[in-house]
Amino acid sequence: MSDTNRFKRLRFWWRYLRRNTPWDTNRTPPEIVALAERLPVGTALDLGCGTGTNVIYLAGRGWRALGVDFAPNAIAMARRKARRAGVEAFAQFYVADVTRLAWLEASVYAPFTFAMDIGCLHALSAEEQRAYVAQLARLTAPEATYALYAHQRRHQSEFAFTPEYVRALFAPHFALLSAAEGVDSSSGYRSAWYELRRSAR
C-alpha cells in the first residue's frame, strides 16, 4: 500500500472511530433499492462498503453479498450489524484495498452479477482508478450491472466524475447506461448516480 493510501486509511479509521461519518446513514439509497427490485437475485460486491448497510440489505433479500473496505473498524461494525440482522451466512466482509483485489477472483461469490460503489472510486488517484476498473472487469460476470455514486468535484485525481469521464474510464469493459445528476445531501457537492453494464465478452 502506498504512503498516500496508508494516510487515507488512517483518516477513514479515525472518522469511523469518532463517528464523524455523515455518509453512514444506515439507509440503503433508493437507487440501490430500485436496482435490487429490478435485477435477478445473484451475487453482489460493494467496493468501499463502509459499515455494510447495502451488503446487509441485499443479503436480506436473498443475495450472496460481499463488501470490502480498508477501514478495519468499519468492517468490524459491518460484521456486527450483519450478525444482528441474522444475515451473516450471506454477507461477507473483508478488510482490503479496492485497488488490490486479485485475491477475490477465487471467492465463491465471483464472478459477481452486481457491483456497486458509493463514494469510494471518486477519491482514488487516476492510476488507482485504472487498476480498479481492470479488476472490476475481471471480477464481474458478462452483462453484470455496476452502480456508481460519485461526486463531480475533483478529489485525489485531476478528473471530475462527469458522464463523459465515467464513460471513457470504464470503456471498453462497461457501457454507460444512465446518469442521474444532483447534489449530495451531506457534502453539498454536485454528484451523480451512474448505471453501467459489463460487456458480454
Ligand X SMILES: C[S@@+](CC[C@H](N)C(=O)[O-])C[C@H]1O[C@@H](n2cnc3c(N)ncnc32)[C@H](O)[C@@H]1O
Binding residues for ligand X (CB under 6 A) = 5, 8, 12, 23-24, 48-50, 69-71, 74, 97-99, 118-120, 123
> Quick check: 196 and 143 in contact, CB under 8 A?
no
Least distance (Å) from ligand X to the CB of residue 201? 26
Q: Judge whether 52 and 91 are in contact, CB under 8 Å.
A: yes
Q: At 145, phi and psi to the nearest 5?
A: -100, 140
Cβ contacts of 112 within 8 Å, gap of 6 or more: 42, 43, 44, 45, 66, 139, 140, 141, 144
Structural contact between residues 45 and 109, judged by C-beta atoms closer than 8 angstroms = yes
Question: Whose Cβ is closer to ligand X: residue 129's or residue 140's?
Answer: 129
Contact 152, 190 (CB under 8 A): yes
Q: Which strands form 112-118's sheet, in the order they lie side by side?
A: 91-95, 64-69, 43-47, 112-118, 140-151, 190-198, 174-183
Rounded to a whole number of angstroms, the minimum distance from the CB of residue 162 to ligand X is 19
Minimum distance from residue 200 beta carbon to ligand X (Å): 28
Least Å distance between CB 53 and ligand X? Answer: 6
The nearer residue to ligand X, 98 or 137, going by C-beta atoms, is: 98
Which is it for strands 190-198 and 174-183: parallel, antiparallel or unpaired?
Answer: antiparallel
Element (H, E) at 77: helix 72-85
Q: From the CB of 39, what's the least distance to ligand X, in Å? A: 19
Min separation Cβ 74 and ligand X, Å:
5
Nearer to ligand X, 71 or 176 (CB): 71
The owner of cell 461494525 is 77
